[in-house]
Every structure is written in structure tokens, then in C-alpha cells.
Structure 1
């Protein structure tokens, strides 16, 4: 009778076609994964993988076994997890990566309520403008926009990520109000530099009727942070294309004015992403559910540009 550990090592190795990657997903050593697979092969009397110094591939028997047990194994593990979690209180350190502007303004204020519900969870939050490698860096979850998901990682949408053209009332008194996207290039522009490529960003504005227009602002000020470009706009240093979630409070107070209200930039969505394994720790699961419920109820309607 095969142990669950042997079958789990085989399935994860078959998914990754790499013992080291399977080991990272399982939290054990590559040697342990290899040993478990070898024991399974010995017990079954057949080879499940073709091994070479460069690659790992499934044999015909391995492909057949994987097709027959993969879904069943996930279901068994999920059932064990649900049974175990029914008696467990979410607890432990919760490592989350999130941007300083969004995190400080919209997530940090939720912490008191979250801690009241789950007092045994210890938030270990990292405020930084970068996309992290969940597995390699040991994060439970991360919040970001426009994430390209890799195998083994899933995401849940928090709200749509839209950019809108804004400027301060003082700037608009001293400069002509743009009537269309092309007019933006004639004004002093607050331009964002990509933290990933180092290049100045240009954008494609979209009209509510579906028409599009490419826009490059004339650089008068260059920043690499969305909070910074909003603050520069409030100071009257130029026009900018700012994320609605960053500009929202200044727009509400009248310190910024939205320009070209029929136009916006669609950048997809802000998401929380995390390991795709079904056996999510309860601390991670309750945090994700808590955050998604709040954002979709409160923030999604507020931050839509159209």
C-alpha cells in the first residue's frame, strides 16, 4: 500500500518535471522527493520517470499513473485540510508584500479589524514597489497590479486598475484645459519611470466608446512612484496620468481635478496572488478572503474610471 507521501512526491515531480522544484513546493529536500519516487517505482515494479542530467520526463507508465491519481490526490489532501482546519485557529506569521501607497492607505487601516477576528495571526508585512517570488522569498501572499502568473500561483481580483488624467486647480488656472488626449502633450507633464524597465512610461487612453489614443506626456518632472506623481500634481507641477486608487482622496478633496472624464487607461486589475496549492494555511486563506471581500465591496465601485 503506497503512502500518501510517496504519491505526493510523484505528483508534484510530474507537475514540475523537476525534483528540486517539487521539493520547494512540498517544503522538503530534493533528495527526499527522489527517494520517495524511487520507493514508489520499486513497489510498483516499473519506472515512472526518464532521468538524465538535463531533464526529467514521464514514462508511459508515469503518464498513466499521473492521469489516474493527480485529481484524487488533490481531493484527498483538500479533504484532510478541511477536516484539520475545522479544529484549527488561524495562527502564525503572515508574510505579505504590498506597495507602500496602496498598503498604507487602504490595507493597513483594516489591520485592527483583522487582528480582532484573528488574534493569533501575526502580520509580517513588507511595503515595497516590486513583484516578489512567493516561493523563493517565503511570502504567503502579495498584492500587485498587472501580474503575470507563473505555474503554481493563482490570483484573485481586488479591483480594476485604471489611470486618469489629473492636475491641480492652480495649474489649470495658469494653463489651458485640455480638450482631448493630444492636448496633454502640450502641457508640463509629470511622468512615471517604470521600476522594472527603467523607461519613461507612455500610455494608451481609451474612450468610453472604445476609441483609443496613444499619449506620451512631455517630461517636466519624472518620478518612479504613483504616490509621488500625485503629490507633484497637487503641488501644481503639471498634468499626470495617475492610478485612481492613489488619486482618489485628492480628487475627493478638490486638490486634484480629473481631466478628460470620458478617457482612461485600462491596466487590468490589482490582485492578491498566492500559492495555487489546495492546502493553503488557514492564516493565508482567511486573510485573502477578508481582503477580497472588503475590496470588492468598498474599493471596486469607488475606483472604476467609467
Structure 2
């Protein structure tokens, strides 16, 4: 009979594509994970991975074994986590990922109530603009958009992801206010270069009556961080396209104003990502239910809607 440790080491290594990534998720050393997988292969009498200096690749036998054991192992592990400690009460380290601005303004302010309700849970926030790999990086949940839905991950929409054009009140006072999309090129354009691709992304603006127009302007200034882009707009350097949550506090205090208020970019949804296990660990289930409830109570769907 194989040990749970050997099976977990195999499944996590297959999901992550490396012993090192699997080790981070399991809280083991890469050598220990490699040893567990080697022991499993020896016991089964088959090679499960093709090993190279760059990555692990499943053999045909490994793919069949993963398909047969993966879902059952997740259920066993979730059941163990659910009943371990405090008779299944939420407890333990909860690893979470979100963008810095959204975490600062909307997620971290929820923590006092969450910690009050679940004192045995220790949230560990990783705030970064990069798109994480929920499984390989060992996160319990992530909030954002554009994360690839790998096997074992589900996404729950919590609010629209709309982007709007903004500029400072001082900048707009010093320039002729525009009324039509064709006049946008008369203003200084601030843009963001993607951290992932290094490119300036092209966007499609949507108008109040369903019109569509590409946002294709020559940038006057470039940054690679949305918070830096927002700061440049606040400093009066020009017009920037930013997500509603990133600029909402400054729209509310009058520091920033919308440019062409009837126009916006629909970038999809802000999602809460978590494991698709039928039996989620109690700490993850508690956080999912808590965040969805708070988003509904605080009216995020309407608050972040650029059409409102």
C-alpha cells in the first residue's frame, strides 16, 4: 500500500512540473519530494516521469496513473484537512494572492472581521501584479483576473473588471475638455507596459450606445505598474486607462476625474480563484464564503461597474 506522502509528492510534482515547486506547496525539501517519487516508481515498477534539467514530463504510464489517482487523492486530502484540528473548525495558514492596490483598498480592510470570525486562521497575503499559478505556487485562493484555469482550479466572478480613462482635475482645467472619442488624441497619453509580455496592450473602448473604438495613442510616459500609472495621472501628467477599483478612492475625493465618462473598457470579471475540490479545507471554504458575502454586502458589482 502506497503512503499518502508518496502519492502527494507525485501528484503535486505532475501539476507543477518540477520537484521544487511541489516541495514549496507540500512544505518539504525538493530532495524529499524526489525521494518520495522515486520510491513510488520503485514500488510500482514503472517510470512515471521523464526527468531533464529543465522540467519534469509525465510518461504515458505517469499520465494514466495521474488520471486514476488524482481526484481520489484530492478528496482524501481534503477530508483529512477538514476534520483535522478543532473538529473541522477553520484553522491554519491561508495563503492568498491579490494585486497590491486591490488588496490595500478592498481586501485588507476586510481582515479585522475575518480574523474576528476565524481566530484560528492565519492569512498570509502575497500582493503582486503578476498572475500566479494557484496550484504550482501553493496558494489557497487568489483574487484578480486572467489567471489560467488549470486542472483543479475554479473561478467565481465577484465583480466586473472595467477600465476607465482618468486625469487630474488640474490637467483637465489646463486643457480643453473633450466631448468626442476622436478628440482623445489631443491629450497626453499615459500607458502601462505589461510585466508579463513587455508590450503595451491594445484596448477596445466601448461607448454609451454600443460604439467601439480602439485605444491607439502614442504614450507620453510609460510605467509597468498600475499604482505608478495612477500616481502619474494624479500628478497631472496626462490621461490614463485604469481599472475602476484602482481609481475609485480618487474619483470619490475629486483628485481624479473621468475623461469621456460614457466610454469604458470591458476586461471581463474580477474572479475569486480556488481549488475545485469537493471537500475544500475548512479555512479555504470559510474565506470563499466570507469574501463572496462581503462583496455582495458592499455592492462591488455596482461599485466597480463603469456604466453606473
TM-score bracket, shorter-length normalisation: 0.7 to 0.9
Quickly say closer, same or farther: Cα 1:181–1:132, change in 2 above 3 A. Answer: same
Quickly say closer, same or farther: Cα 1:249–1:26, change in 2 above 3 A. Answer: closer
- Report the alpha carbon displacement of residue 247 of structure 1 after superposing the two structures with TM: 0.9
Residue in structure 1 matched with residue 115 of structure 2 by the alignment: 115
Q: Say which SS state the counterpart of residue 136 (structure 2) adopts.
A: helix
Is 1:301 aligned to 2:302, yes or no? yes
- Report the alpha carbon displacement of residue 275 of structure 1 after superposing the two structures with TM: 2.9
Residue in structure 1 matched with residue 216 of structure 2 by the alignment: 216
- Report the alpha carbon displacement of residue 165 of structure 1 after superposing the two structures with TM: 1.2
Is 1:254 aligned to 2:254, yes or no? yes
Quickly say closer, same or farther: Cα 1:140–1:230, change in 2 above 3 A. Answer: same
Residue in structure 2 matched with residue 201 of structure 1 by the alignment: 201
Residue in structure 2 matched with residue 178 of structure 1 by the alignment: 178
Larger radius of gyration: 1
Q: Deviations over 1:140-161 (max 9, x none)?
A: 2222222222222222222111
Which is further off, 287-296 or 114-123?
287-296
- What TM-score does the superposition give when structure 1 sets the normalisation length? 0.77
Contiguous gaps of at least 5 residues in structure 1: none
Q: Deviations over 1:190-235 (max 9, x none)?
A: 1111111122233110124332110123322222222222222222
C-alpha contact (below 8 Å) 1:244/1:303 kept by paired residues? yes
CA distance in 2, matches of 1:30, 1:256: 54
Is 1:57 aligned to 2:98, yes or no? no
CA distance in 2, matches of 1:263, 1:238: 17
Residue in structure 2 matched with residue 149 of structure 1 by the alignment: 149
C-alpha contact (below 8 Å) 1:191/1:240 kept by paired residues? yes
C-alpha contact (below 8 Å) 1:102/1:246 kept by paired residues? yes
Contiguous gaps of at least 5 residues in structure 2: 27-31, 52-56
C-alpha contact (below 8 Å) 1:158/1:300 kept by paired residues? yes
Is 1:291 aligned to 2:291, yes or no? yes
CA distance in 2, matches of 1:4, 1:86: 25
Q: Say which SS state the counterpart of residue 134 (structure 1) adopts.
A: coil
Paired residues, number: 296
CA distance in 1, matches of 2:112, 2:50: 53
- Report the alpha carbon displacement of residue 19 of structure 1 after superposing the two structures with TM: 11
CA distance in 2, matches of 1:75, 1:148: 23
CA distance in 1, matches of 2:163, 2:25: 40
Which is further off, 160-169 or 204-213?
204-213
C-alpha contact (below 8 Å) 1:159/1:271 kept by paired residues? yes
- Report the alpha carbon displacement of residue 269 of structure 1 after superposing the two structures with TM: 1.4
CA distance in 2, matches of 1:120, 1:157: 27
Q: Say which SS state the counterpart of residue 294 (structure 2) adopts.
A: helix
C-alpha contact (below 8 Å) 2:82/2:280 kept by paired residues? no
